[in-house]
Amino acid sequence: MRIAMIGTGYVGLVSGVCFSDFGHDVICVDKAEAKIQMLQAGKVPIYEPGLDVLMAKNVAAGRLSFTTDLANAVKGADAVFIAVGTPTRRGDGHADLTYVMAAAEEIAHAMDGYTVVVTKSTVPVGTNRKVQEVVAAANPKADFDVASNPEFLREGAAIDDFMRPDRVVVGVENDRAAEVMAEIYRPLYLRDFPILTTDLESAEMIKYAANAFLATKITFINEIAGLCERVGGDVKEVARGIGLDGRIGNKFLHAGPGYGGSCFPKDTAALARIGQEHAFPMQITETVMRVNDEVKKRMIAKIREACDDSFNGKTVAVLGVTFKPNTDDMRDAPSLTIVPALIGGGAKVRVVDPQGRSEGEALLPGVEWVEDPYAAAKDADAVVLLTEWNEFRALNLMQMAAEMKSPRMVDLRNIYSRDKVKKSGFETYVGVGR
């Protein structure tokens, strides 16, 4: 199959590379010339484990290329995927579809045969119908169908998620489009991965419902963690106890500083807005959004208490600022709320993150970036574990404590046990929900 992938952001690039590894001919398109030049030079503009190797393999095989020429990429394509950004729109919280509709119009003018226009971007319910209208209006003679194919890629594990998915969701209106999509995903059919073929609106809703549910699960355990701190329970034991129930499961039951990233904040806001527009408020989702903001503020109070109720004049080492490990993504990361509060309170903040500096330097002005957690903690008044990178899971705690001015640890990911930290020389250990 010949595929054009419009957009080389996180979703578009990972999807394009993986489709080429299925054996399809893929052309990835982006308006940003600098990004395309970077990709043509074999450099990956995002951090995703294994992506550089897989990209190089398929470029060398002649199945994968990059261009700014949308029209040439679309000509002769069996399917054109729209994988452009849908950021939260200022003012109303809705997903901004400007880039999606602009791409749809450009695709319409370039098509020269039957084409399936596939929306890969996360879009509100009803968007694919609008894409259909835009394409038909721009090119009344176009022979095409639309399809919805939402992504479910976890940053840091995206290649494995694409190659071994829990499910693939395809929304179509007729058998002709379904056959094209089935051929594109044929390698997964052959290995018996679940392929759910449904209508357009259901496919669009599945994406939002899934992310809202996961965000709810995270927020629920964070609320339970707050209550555990008041009544004397240990949220890790509580999470394990409820997670063993097959109806609940143990995933996404890790208490911490709140969710962030490119999906959950944006998608919960969009779902809430969809509910408001259809006079059916998403009350649970709206509460989840509010509570998640409160969780981040609670973490600030936790750090302040560990610092004798004042940040002024303190030196704080922050380990990890990306929203999760194995990514360089800083979007809506808890660090963007917590670190400025430390600086605003008068603290000197040193930051170490294996991949966060490229984005973090612009987003976290006023911090000192260091490459080593021990250098960050030297002569510090407190160390805060904010992102659970593997590099921070096996620290020499005795060495760290010995070099700190005041050996205090605030472990916002519950990586360590209180006993181990205390035996290593720390005078204070503060976890979440423990």
Query: Can you say which residues are annotated as belonging to the binding site for substrate?
Result: 152-155, 207, 252-256, 260, 324
| Main-chain dihedrals φ then ψ at residue 166, nearest 5 degrees | -65, -35
- Binding site membership for NAD(+): which residues? 30, 35, 86, 122, 155, 266, 331
Active site residue 263: yes
Please pick, among 18, 228, 263, 307, the residue that the annotation labels catalytic.
263
The Cα 107–Cα 128 span in angstroms is 14
Catalytic residues: 263
